[in-house]
Amino acid sequence: MKNLVVACLLSAICCACRKLPPSFTRCNASAADFDSCLTAAVPAAIRQLKTPLPRVRLPSLDPLEIPAMSIAPGPGVLHYQQNYTNMKLAGFTDIACESVK
pLDDT tens-digit readout, 43-100: 999 999 999 988 888 888 899 899 999 999 988 887 899 999 999 999 989 988 888 7
Strands 82-89 and 64-71: antiparallel
Query: Cα 19 to chain center, whole Å?
Result: 18
Rounded alpha-carbon distances, angstroms, from residue 39 to 4, 74, 95: 16, 32, 11
Q: What is the model's pLDDT at position 38?
A: 92
Q: What is the model's pLDDT at position 4?
A: 59
First-to-last CA distance in the chain? 18
- Asked whether the predicted pLDDT for residue 13 surpasses 90, the reply is no
pTM: 0.64
Domain ranges of the chain: 2-89
3-state DSSP call for residue 93? coil
Q: What is the model's pLDDT at position 14?
A: 58
Burial of 54 (0-12, 13-18, 19+ CB in 10 A): exposed
Please give the helix or strand (H or E) that residue 14 lies within, else none.
Answer: helix 2-15
